[in-house]
Structure 1
Amino acid sequence: MTSTGMTDQDLSPRPYQSYVYAYPHKTAYRKLTDRPRLADEWAGEPKDALSLYAHIPFCEVRCGFCNLFTRIGAPDELTTRYLDALDRQATAVREALGDAEPVRFATAAFGGGTPTFLTAAELERLCDIAEQRMGADLRAVPLSVESSPATATADRLAVLVDRGATRLSLGVQSFVEEEARAAVRPQRRSDVEAALGRIRDSGVPVLNIDLIYGIDGQTERSWRRSLDAALAWRPEELYLYPLYVRPLTPLQKRAHASDREWDEQRLRLYRHGRDHLLAHGYEQVSMRMFRRADAPPQGPDDYACQTDGMIGLGCGARSYTSRLHYSFDYAVGMGEIRTIIDAYTATEDFSRAEVGRRVDKSEARRRHLLQSLLQAEGLRLEEYTERFGSSPFADFPAELARFEDRGWLDGDAPAGRLRLSAQGLAYSDGLGPELFSPAVRAAMAAYEPK
């Protein structure tokens, strides 16, 4: 017991604070008062290995845990108007990239929302926009597409495979129907299994299945049922996500166990899932990502899409240059999302950045360390020095010393590599936020959810 009456457990770092899928997070973005021209921002940037991401903000239902930028349904030909705007944006962005330097895309992804909410014909148009407007050769690069059981239909899958899709990610979350209902994700296991069968029949090379742990009532036994149901399909990849309850989502109103009890449940289920997958021939790529040892390579791993040189199309997509991260306005509430989507579809001029955040050299170092350290293979010190001319130990002495004291760093890592221990990987969602800069923390804290 401390002098304040708090126990050592109360003071220990929490393992689940924030899923760090991008840095800086969109809640640190603000209106760009100067509305910089994209042509100026991309001038002189390397463009020979760009990533392309197209965001489709539509779903047939909204899961209880979801805080993604998406809306339910698309009335009054909204998908047509959205693709029209996406076409206009792609035309403007490609013009802004110019032809002074070679422009080539090394990877592509369609996310959301649910890209397969679009019809087969609309998916054809989406691919045409990527190829004819942006110049991406979808059949020559890794192309990942997110889907849901209800929308993974044979006609849609046929289009995607024909246009070059190499990876299909299916959001299952749980094969246990009671757990799916508890997560406000109504689905029948028979429908999930039928969708998986269609995906395997389509011939897409890589199947990924998303699962969630920490659902109310979930136990090691029920978690194992979902894991084994997924393993029966021999997916090339599996993502294991901890459940979060975020503001303005349906689950926010539900009662849960205490934070500490929930942390212990999620940690226990994480370790159970990790060990189970490792025992079944999977390799851990990050806290969340597991890849079958014999799976075909898919190019850069999950964090690589956050590096410089990202072109994001759609009202929920981010774009990254070495100096500026930019997007459109961000919201979680349904009303605000609908307003932003409507504004996007009415936009004619996409030549300027409207919302974003400048990234200086200090933030670039922080971002590189964070993204590399959260991967199981860790950070190559030589690569860091080549890029920044310094050492992460000199740039972040307090943070790395703290991580070492907690046992989060691997003392047996190969020479020249900084990587997390098994305990450090388990605490990725607590470790990541500790690397946020004070300025980004302040901006995120000042953001008002909407």
Structure 2
Amino acid sequence: MTVTETPVRPYQHYVYAYPHKTAYRKLPGSPRLADLWAGESRAALSLYAHIPFCEVRCGFCNLFTRIGAPDGLTGRYLDALERQAIAVREALGDTAPVRFANAAFGGGTPTYLEAAELERLCDIAERHMGADLRAIPLSVEASPATATADRLAVLAERGTTRLSLGVQSFVEAEARAAVRPQRRADVETALSRVRDTGIPVLNIDLIYGIDGQTAASWRLSLDAALAWRPEEIYLYPLYVRPLTGLGRHLDPEVADRDWDEARLRRYREGRDHLLAHGYEQVSMRMFRRADAPPQGPDDYTCQTDGMIGLGCGARSYTSKVHYSFDYAVDMREIRAIIDDYAATEDFSRASVGRAVDEGEARRRHLLQSLLQAEGLPVADYRRRFGAEPYEDFPAELETLASRGWLADTGTELLRLTPEGLAHSDAIGPEFFSPGVRAAMADYELR
């Protein structure tokens, strides 16, 4: 009897960081930041500031964000962010120079902040953290509704090199279906404003798999984006998570194979269309125009050791511990966490996180490199860990090879095939350690 392998579901888990936040727990003794950063390199840190506010919560969104900010909450939040920055910079100490290689403002929607508040955010990064925003790559996320001329002018003047606009769809019916109501005319106006600022890199986010989306409507959005010749385009598959607006209306136990196939078709159509129009594939999601100016490290490398996260939804990484604040998806829980953060006075300790041992560091390095189109040079892995990936992960790599997802590139390069890249969201979870899997399974979603 021939045993047929059950088809792998292609959309399981977007691995934008490892370990996932649902594997974080209370850290014993709430260690002092000064102790966590003792002996850590400060030569090329990444800085991330998280702004957890949006004008509307999209139906697919499971990000740590809330709708609106009543009663001066943005001001109180920035007060707390400033207190945190001062505490973090003090913890880093002066025994070695502190240098930042890149910075990013994300969310939420950073441009939910008014122009004067964006000025203050930049001041916090520069005056308290010591990040020279005009001398390093600075990426900022925005929505069409908040990409106003005064906000964009501040960002351009303060050194923003990349502006990522969350368009999702140029088709108004699809935007409504994703609970992201917007008029195409307003989106086009926002894009025009971004181009007028002269910010070097424009990224446009698009989503495939929206209810009612067809090959024709997907092509319409792709062409509408291409008309602006953005330096980058991200293609995101629609995920519907528990406790999000769309997720409340679905049975999470139903495995919708038809939807998987529809998303894979849209992905392949989008990939092929962008490749035919002069874009290079960087990862499953990221496509860069071939003549776009360099922006330093690609998206995955901001997750390497040496990350400073400011804000209640941000993560920080040392070589041995990842830490953050509490995490939730439900709106009421998020509001409570944001309020607690805004009222916090002492930011000298880490309360929630996860230790990262040598084995987890190897998994993290491998999967974050393997999920990039360029792949993992085995020499880099050998140099960093004194080991071979084939010896550390024989079963996982053999599984990829048996499915035709590993390219035939010899023994010195591990690279996914085009079909392997298409299944990145199935490949990533296969490298999760048993400990991380167990912690994620035990997490109580709230």
Please name the residue that 2:142 is paired with: 147
Please name the residue that 1:371 is paired with: 368
CA distance in 2, matches of 1:296, 1:370: 26
1:171-250 paired onto structure 2 within 5 Å: 171-250=166-245
CA distance in 2, matches of 1:114, 1:138: 19
- Determine which of 115, 118, 123 is the counterpart of 1:123: 118
Please name the residue that 1:448 is paired with: 444
Give the TM-score normalised by structure 2: 0.98
CA distance in 2, matches of 1:100, 1:391: 35
- Determine which of 12, 17, 38 is the counterpart of 2:7: 12
Is the 2:378–2:411 Cα contact (8 Å) retained in structure 1?
no
1:20-39 paired onto structure 2 within 5 Å: 20-39=15-34
Q: Which residue identity is paired with 1:312? A: G
Please name the residue that 2:300 is paired with: 303
Cα deviations by residue, 1:316-373 (Å, 9 ceiling, x for unpaired): 0000000000000000111000100010011111000000000000000000001000
CA distance in 1, matches of 2:43, 2:181: 43
Cα displacement (A) at 1:255 = 4.9
CA distance in 2, matches of 1:46, 1:244: 36
CA distance in 1, matches of 2:263, 2:2: 27
Q: What runs of 5+ residues in structure 2 fail to find an aligned partner?
A: none
Cα displacement (A) at 1:33 = 2.3
Cα deviations by residue, 1:67-124 (Å, 9 ceiling, x for unpaired): 0000000000000000000000000000000111111000000000000000000000
Cα deviations by residue, 1:359-412 (Å, 9 ceiling, x for unpaired): 00000000000100000000011110011000000000000001000001011x
Please name the residue that 2:286 is paired with: 289
Give the TM-score normalised by structure 1: 0.97
Please name the residue that 1:313 is paired with: 310
CA distance in 2, matches of 1:32, 1:14: 34
Cα displacement (A) at 1:168 = 0.2
- Determine which of 406, 412, 416 is the counterpart of 1:416: 412
Q: Which residue identity is paired with 2:319? A: S
Please name the residue that 1:78 is paired with: 73
Greater Cα offset, 87-96 or 28-37: 28-37
Q: Is 1:266 matched up with 2:263?
A: yes
Please name the residue that 2:96 is paired with: 101
Q: Which residue identity is paired with 1:190? A: A
Q: Percent identity of the aligned residues?
A: 78
CA distance in 1, matches of 2:256, 2:308: 38
CA distance in 2, matches of 1:19, 1:218: 21
Q: Which residue identity is paired with 1:338? A: R
Cα displacement (A) at 1:417 = 1.3
How many residue pairs match? The answer is 444
CA distance in 2, matches of 1:429, 1:394: 23
Please name the residue that 2:108 is paired with: 113
Distance change in 2, residues 1:75/1:414 (3 Å): same
CA distance in 2, matches of 1:388, 1:409: 22
Q: Which residue identity is paired with 1:362? A: G
Cα displacement (A) at 1:414 = 6.4
Please name the residue that 2:385 is paired with: 388
Cα displacement (A) at 1:174 = 0.3
CA distance in 2, matches of 1:63, 1:2: 45
Please name the residue that 2:337 is paired with: 340
Cα displacement (A) at 1:212 = 0.2
Q: Which residue identity is paired with 2:214? A: T
Q: Which residue identity is paired with 1:80? A: G
Is the 2:242–2:248 Cα contact (8 Å) retained in structure 1?
no
CA distance in 2, matches of 1:415, 1:369: 15
CA distance in 2, matches of 1:202, 1:248: 38
CA distance in 2, matches of 1:414, 1:62: 46
CA distance in 2, matches of 1:33, 1:323: 14
Is the 2:377–2:412 Cα contact (8 Å) retained in structure 1?
yes
The 3-state SS of whatever aligns with 1:126 is helix
Q: Which residue identity is paired with 1:177? A: E
RMSD of the alignment, in Å?
A: 1.2
CA distance in 2, matches of 1:153, 1:209: 16
Is the 2:143–2:166 Cα contact (8 Å) retained in structure 1?
yes
Please name the residue that 2:51 is paired with: 56
Please name the residue that 1:167 is paired with: 162
Please name the residue that 1:67 is paired with: 62
Q: Which residue identity is paired with 1:93? A: V
Q: Which residue identity is paired with 1:428? A: S
Cα displacement (A) at 1:14 = 1.0
Where has structure 1 moved over 6 Å in runs of 4 or more? none
CA distance in 1, matches of 2:311, 2:255: 38
The 3-state SS of whatever aligns with 2:144 is coil
The 3-state SS of whatever aligns with 1:250 is coil
- Determine which of 133, 137, 146 is the counterpart of 1:138: 133
The 3-state SS of whatever aligns with 1:442 is helix
Please name the residue that 2:396 is paired with: 399
The 3-state SS of whatever aligns with 1:164 is coil
The 3-state SS of whatever aligns with 1:170 is strand
